[in-house]
Homo-oligomer: A and B are copies of this chain.
Amino acid sequence: MTSEVTTPTEPGQTAQSKSQRAHEWIKERIAAGDLAPGHRLVLGSIAAELDMSVVPVREAIRQLEAAGLVTFERNVGAHVAMVDDAQYRFSMQSLSILEGAATALAARALTTEDLRAARDINDEMIKQLDDFDPRAFTTLNQQFHAILFARCANPRMLELVNAEWARLGHLRESTFSFVPGRAAESVREHEEILACIASGEPLGAIEQIARRHRAATLDAYMIHEHPDAALNMPAF
């Protein structure tokens, strides 16, 4: 009792459990691309690496399984979720719908400062077009859309969007890095979206433009990867 301070490091930040630490560690590793899709996750190894027993690691993996980031088979083990082209397509289409709606639901709440910040980021993206680095470009792209979403009137929609992006993991950048020319198109569409929001277009129109922006990225990717395959997705 004497002079116990327990060094709370940060007031209001209770020490997180080991299972939480494992959860975040694995999640970050997947997002960073250190753990490629299909990579096997051995409980014991992860436990050893994080200096804990397997029980918290199991919990973490169960959570990640529920979120769709890893697959888990009884008596076989866990693997980083594979995202094949079909799943990628479906996730991206879902995202186009969710992001379109989220953008519309945020449009009326965006301030002049928000719009300028978004425009600044887009300008930076334009500058980088010549010396193209997929990773840096993708980061800016995330920031751009993050600003547009931030004031979304529906926080649950944001959660859904973020969860879906987490599922796609390190594939974030593939859409830009694999499809030449798409980046230039993308920043043009960004300008269009900003103009639409600034001029107070109807929410339905904003939703459509934002949706098509993401859908176009998906189309470009699909056409680039599978020039022969028909896009079995209804024009939407």
User: Are B105's CB and A236's CB within 8 A?
Assistant: yes
Q: Which of A1-9, A35-43, A154-162 lines the interface with chain B?
A: A154-162
- A interface: dominant SS: helix
**A32 an interface residue at 8 Å Cβ cutoff?**
no
User: Are A74's CB and B157's CB within 8 A?
Assistant: no
Name the B residues within 8 Å of A14 (CB-CB): 74
Q: Which of A214-236 contact B (CB under 8 A)?
A: 232-236
How many A residues, CB 8 Å from partner? 42
Choose one: B64, B67, B91, B156; the contact of A91 (CB below 8 Å).
Answer: B156
Name the B residues within 8 Å of A55 (CB-CB): 55
User: Are A101's CB and B97's CB within 8 A?
Assistant: yes
User: Are B203's CB and A236's CB within 8 A?
Assistant: yes
A59 and B66 CA atoms in complex are apart in Å by: 11
Q: Which residues of A contact B (CB under 8 A)?
A: 14, 16-17, 19-20, 55, 58-60, 62-67, 74, 87, 90-91, 93-94, 97-98, 101, 104-105, 108, 153-157, 160, 164, 203-204, 207, 232-236
